[in-house]
Amino acid sequence: MSDPIFFATQDNAVTELHELRAAALQNLLIADPSDKVTGVARLAADAKAGALSLMVGASLMDAVEVSLIPGRPLLPELVAPRLLKRRSMRTDEGRAALIHALAHIEFNAINLALDAICRFADMPPEYYTDWLKVAAEEAYHFSMLVQHLQTLGHAYGDFQAHGSMWEMAEKTQQDVLARMALVPRLLEARGLDATPSTRAKLAQAGDMPAAAILDIILRDEVGHVAIGNHWYGWLCAARGLEPVATFAALLVQYEAPKLRGPFNLPARREAGFSEDELTALQQTAEQIA
């Protein structure tokens, strides 16, 4: 186990109140969504105040019961994606179901960011602070969506949902390179493609508050995917791997979902995808169309 790396406070004093990765694991295990959001916000505030230590070499997951990861409430009921009911956006219930689906994505994203912190050891300190930033922003997104869902007469858990995002986290739990490739760069990047059309549907239905929330989410998600791209590139360089060919190989190895267009190329460029990657992405999409 490595020596702790401390975050300095503004006056350069150093205070070891608790350790970032262990605290992230504690929050990952929280089942109640409200408590998880509160815990993540507190953790981010502690980091900003310089009140966290960081043990980059600690192995944290071996002693945790697998079934407890991630902590999540009994509802929503998780079903296969094909079993989810399709509802019209012209109805309040249809819009509520969509907002619920988006909230579920953000709840998963909180857990994914926390898992990235506590599961993978021996990364640079900036890796852990990057993913803490992501966790805090995902918690904010979730809170906004749940609050809006309440204005539509519903709560998180009222509709069924699917667990596809976490299934990929489980597949990639042994390799941080695979995790960076196939969660932020694949699944979360798909959100960059899908969010503009979803926003347009909500705006067309007259739900401008929801459309405004999606504007915030898209802005922040560009940064989250950029973080995934950065650490994927860093890991490829550290292992002497060519990024584009390695990504293609990982898609096959982990039986990742195939992506179809259209792609939000401006957002993907802003998030750090190279032109070679975007060309390869479009060519692959054309082959499976």
Q: Facing residues of 54 across strands?
A: 5
pLDDT of residue 103: 98
The angle, 0 to 180 degrees and rounded to 10, between the axes of the packed helices 20-28 and 92-119 is: 140
In the sheet that 5-6 helps form, which strands lie side by side, from edge to edge? 5-6, 52-54, 18-19
Residue 93 tokens, joined: 């219930």
Distance in angstroms (rounded) separating the CA atoms of residues 75 and 16: 37
pLDDT, average across residues 256-262: 88
pLDDT of residue 15: 36
Nearest alpha carbon to residue 197 among 182, 218, 216: 218
pLDDT, average across residues 187-212: 96
- Give the CA dihedral 54, 55, 57, 60, nearest 10 degrees: -110
pLDDT of residue 141: 98
pLDDT of residue 82: 87
pLDDT of residue 16: 39
Nearest alpha carbon to residue 190 among 285, 118, 99, 96: 285
- Is the predicted pLDDT of residue 142 greater than 80, yes or no? yes
**Residue 243 near residue 231, CB atoms below 8 Å:** no
pLDDT of residue 245: 94
pLDDT of residue 46: 94
Confidence of residue 289 (pLDDT cuts 50, 70, 90): low
* % of residues, the chain, pLDDT over 90: 82
Q: What is the pTM of this model?
A: 0.93
Confidence of residue 18 (pLDDT cuts 50, 70, 90): confident
pLDDT of residue 87: 83
pLDDT of residue 146: 98
